[in-house]
Structure 1
Amino acid sequence: MVCKFKSRLYINPGNGYTVAEYSSMELDSIPSEAVISNYGTEVTFTAFGKELPCMDNVEIEMEGDWKRSEKYGLQFGVDWSRVLLPKSREGIIGYLSSELIKGIGPVMAREIVNRFGTDTFTVMENHPNELLAIKGITEQKLEFIIESYQKSAELRELMAYLAPYHVTPKKAEKIKQHFGLEAVTLLKENPYHLCEIKGFGFITVDPIARASKDLAPDEPERIKAAIQYVLRKGAEEGNLYLDSTIIVDMAYKVLNAGFPTDTVRRGQIKLAGNELVMKDKLLEADGTAIYLKAYREAEKEATYHLVRLLRSPGNTYNIERELEAVLAKSKMTLAQKQ
């Protein structure tokens, strides 16, 4: 449903969990039991979820389900939300002065809209230099404002594409930081790239990816994503690498879950694995031991430092202490490369 923020009742700064009141004109979408106030053309209700937008005068699109509790009654549990680009003058003022756009406060936002009206966004996108006519906007500040506006536009586009994944704004920002300006294009080409981001495992991404691109179960990009998923799961259990036969067996089970036996054949998995090593360079092989490239590089670095320490002449080392330091550095390297 489309709604507007009214007031925030609670927020957990640690995880972003928010409880807030919103109003909506979609009267048929809101059960009477959930209505806090009714003004005839719009009603107010309570919503809860992670990182809910709490910005005045902007339209917010939400998806979720009505959920009941003994203490709080019927409330809207939000799975996904995003800020829409407003069309009204007050909505544009609210958007410009929100946390989405840096460098513009409420007073300046109103001055901009008073000058350009509902064409404000068109001006910002196509004729940004016209904003220099607004008091307080220098060329340096204009660059800052336009950069911030473009980033908000990219985030809106990404949020729209990621709607089926129920992605929070914070996760969307994390995805944008990981993939850069090409995030939407890259994910449209291969939605399994999303598996590279912590919190988006193959099991979550797979059904939506197949539906969004109408992929066959034995599509190479799906098989490759499953292989990398198996290796990441192995790493979570403390295995920097897995034997190729184990990878094939585990990927076979994952890929054929919910499909007739042998929908995805072992030979196809081996072929996709070879491509990941030889062509895509995302995996490395040491005999039958298969690594994710980042893990292999971390292992090589740790080995190099261990050998260097052991070969250093005339020095006495506390090997256990040195090992802990090297392994800690390797873990940090892994975290940075993931």
Structure 2
Amino acid sequence: MPAPRNAPKSEVLRGLVDRVVFHNEDNGYCILKIVPEGRRDVVSLIGKAPRVVAGEEFEAKGIWEPNRDFGPQFKADALKLRRPDSLAGIERYLGSGLIEGIGPKYAKRMVEKFGPKVFDIIENESKKLEDVEGVGKKRRVEIRESWIKQKSIHGIMLFLHQHGISSSRALRIYKTYGEESQAVLKENPYRLAQDIRGIGFKTADDIAYQLGVAEDAPERIKAGILHVLETAAGSGHCCVPETEVIKKAIDLLGVEALIAPQIDALITEDKVERHSDAGTPARNEDAAIGTAGKSAHITSLYLPYLRAAEQSIAANVKSLAALPAAYPSIDEDAALAWVMKKTGKELADSQQRAVREALRHRLLIITGGPGVGKTTILRSILLILQSKQIKLVLAAPTGRAAKRLTESTGLEAKTLHRLLEYQGEGQWGRHRGKPLAGHLFVVDEASMIDAPLMAQFLSALPDGAHLLIVGDADQLPS
């Protein structure tokens, strides 16, 4: 269909960016004040760019559109930016605040001293910057380091923006990989999903598609398999039957033939573990037999850190369960009578039995749905042990759960992260080498605790510790 007779014609506009009015890093949308070539007046330009700096030279293709409030605006369908060549543009560019250590005053002095060679001086002969009044070694080093960083970021942002990736993500990618960013993305864009929080498989897959990665590329298949296992982990599963992993990976990736070989490749690379329900590492042929339904054993796939957490939990629980309680001598009948009188609540036979078990064993799990009396049992146990000067430590996985535990027991409860002194980046202040202090540790809402956190908590228990775990297996799984 031909364009309307009165439709404005597309034209190419060149000039200088005078000021950045608005720039959205997520989608590149920007509103600029520009000075077109051959004109002295400042006009508005609307377009998209990964990054834009006052003083840059631009080339835009688009149309002029009238605006009732701001006058004519140039709407750019395509916008290219580059460092300026003119002395006025260079001065504005350097003085824009983009380069640390250079403001308008130093920008003016540098341009006066070095003219159009100033960019080359900063990058390759920065020692000469000390010839500029007020620039010493410290400022000179700061300027050059900032220049190199901004140059690298700019190149990455342009590269990613050309492939439909937002500027904010480009910055996060740069912070993770530095100057290796483009090389990493070209080699394996699926590393983004593994290395950068907030970028999942689907985002990495979109980026890979933009970069021309084939649908059946091995790195794509591997990333999809890991995504299936990580999604399952988010729902509380430490492992997934291999047949189910294959099925979900086929649904996700739209390919079938390469999935089994890439599972084997991930196992070889120690990124996935395969185990049978017999408790031993499974071979590939075992998985094939299981898939065909000719073996009684089911093979499952683990992410290694979850397998390690599961094994650590099992070892610690087994150790605790093998030991009797080490409390001072307690007359159970007298203690039960005393606590029922103190609380004014008569305990049912099953509740009394639970209290007795807690006083006899190093480890006890109290589980059940709402209204079965878990809180009453817990309060009774804590009151009895508190009267024996036992140091009690209460915790829960979330702030809200910890607050409820405090309100129901009258004792301070902390989140597990606070109790274990979480320091970020997987670092903890409390661990096997620096254990917690206390005699009885109570953890409520245990179904909300994931395997790595539970493993960390159990490993931080001191020698001689007792553990009481409370929760509802059917409520709020981790």
State whether residues 128 and 146 of structure 1, in contact with CA within 8 Å, keep that contact through their aligned partners in structure 2: yes
Question: Could you say which structure has the larger radius of gyration?
Answer: 2
State the secondary structure of the residue aligned to 1:318.
strand
> Aligned partners of 1:128 and 1:183: how far apart in 2?
25
| More helix, by proportion | 1
Amino acid at match of 1:290: L
Query: In structure 2, what is the equivalent of residue 272 of structure 1?
Result: 262
User: How many angstroms does 1:237 deviate by?
Assistant: 4.3
> Aligned partners of 2:301 and 2:58: how far apart in 1?
46
CA distance 1:178–1:11, change in 2 (3 Å) = closer
Query: In structure 1, what is the equivalent of residue 211 of structure 2?
Result: 212
Query: In structure 2, what is the equivalent of residue 127 of structure 1?
Result: 125
State whether residues 238 and 302 of structure 2, in contact with CA within 8 Å, keep that contact through their aligned partners in structure 1: yes
> Aligned partners of 2:84 and 2:418: how far apart in 1?
51
Within a 5 Å distance, the mapping from 1:194-213 to structure 2 comes to: 194-196=192-194, 197-206=196-205, 208-210=207-209, 212-213=211-212
User: How many angstroms does 1:317 deviate by?
Assistant: 3.9
Query: In structure 1, what is the equivalent of residue 394 of structure 2?
Result: 318
Within a 5 Å distance, the mapping from 1:41-190 to structure 2 comes to: 44-46=44-46, 55-59=53-57, 84-190=82-188
> Aligned partners of 2:15 and 2:117: how far apart in 1?
23
- Structure 2, unaligned stretches of length 5 or more? 1-11, 277-298, 328-390, 397-401, 403-412, 429-478
Amino acid at match of 1:318: L
> Aligned partners of 1:205 and 1:45: how far apart in 2?
32
User: How many angstroms does 1:108 deviate by?
Assistant: 0.5
CA distance 1:333–1:81, change in 2 (3 Å) = farther
State the secondary structure of the residue aligned to 1:44.
strand
State the secondary structure of the residue aligned to 1:57.
coil
User: How many angstroms does 1:106 deviate by?
Assistant: 0.7
State whether residues 63 and 81 of structure 1, in contact with CA within 8 Å, keep that contact through their aligned partners in structure 2: yes
Q: Of the candidates 252, 255, 270, which is equivalent to residue 254 of structure 1?
A: 252
State whether residues 20 and 54 of structure 2, in contact with CA within 8 Å, keep that contact through their aligned partners in structure 1: no
**For each residue in 1:85-117, what CA deviation from the matched residue of structure 2 results, as whole angstroms up to 9, or x when unmatched?**
333323322332233211111110121122222
State whether residues 16 and 36 of structure 2, in contact with CA within 8 Å, keep that contact through their aligned partners in structure 1: no
> Aligned partners of 2:318 and 2:61: how far apart in 1?
55
**For each residue in 1:260-286, what CA deviation from the matched residue of structure 2 results, as whole angstroms up to 9, or x when unmatched?**
xxxx324x212212222322x333455
Percentage identity across paired residues of the two chains: 27
State the secondary structure of the residue aligned to 2:44.
strand
Query: In structure 2, what is the equivalent of residue 283 of structure 1?
Result: 272
- Structure 1, unaligned stretches of length 5 or more? 27-37, 257-263
> Aligned partners of 2:247 and 2:18: how far apart in 1?
53
**For each residue in 1:160-210, what CA deviation from the matched residue of structure 2 results, as whole angstroms up to 9, or x when unmatched?**
221234333332221111113311111122222233334544334435524
**For each residue in 1:263-319, what CA deviation from the matched residue of structure 2 results, as whole angstroms up to 9, or x when unmatched?**
x324x212212222322x333455444344565667677778888998896554436
> Aligned partners of 2:120 and 2:159: how far apart in 1?
22
Query: In structure 2, what is the equivalent of residue 229 of structure 1?
Result: 227
RMSD: 4.9
State whether residues 298 and 334 of structure 1, in contact with CA within 8 Å, keep that contact through their aligned partners in structure 2: no
Amino acid at match of 1:85: R
Amino acid at match of 2:416: A
CA distance 1:332–1:107, change in 2 (3 Å) = closer
> Aligned partners of 1:90 and 1:44: how far apart in 2?
19
CA distance 1:86–1:19, change in 2 (3 Å) = closer
**For each residue in 1:29-71, what CA deviation from the matched residue of structure 2 results, as whole angstroms up to 9, or x when unmatched?**
xxxxxxxxx9699852445x8x97564222468999x9xxxx9
Amino acid at match of 2:96: S
CA distance 1:270–1:100, change in 2 (3 Å) = farther
User: How many angstroms does 1:125 deviate by?
Assistant: 1.8
State whether residues 95 and 101 of structure 1, in contact with CA within 8 Å, keep that contact through their aligned partners in structure 2: no
> Aligned partners of 2:273 and 2:80: how far apart in 1?
40
> Aligned partners of 1:144 and 1:275: how far apart in 2?
45
State whether residues 238 and 306 of structure 2, in contact with CA within 8 Å, keep that contact through their aligned partners in structure 1: yes
Amino acid at match of 1:265: E
TM, length-normalised to structure 1: 0.68
Amino acid at match of 2:262: A
CA distance 1:99–1:283, change in 2 (3 Å) = farther
TM, length-normalised to structure 2: 0.51
Amino acid at match of 1:209: A
State the secondary structure of the residue aligned to 2:90.
helix
> Aligned partners of 2:59 and 2:239: how far apart in 1?
43
> Aligned partners of 2:265 and 2:118: how far apart in 1?
49
Count of residue pairs the alignment pairs up: 309
Greater displacement, 126-135 / 321-330: 321-330
State the secondary structure of the residue aligned to 2:156.
helix
State whether residues 84 and 156 of structure 1, in contact with CA within 8 Å, keep that contact through their aligned partners in structure 2: no
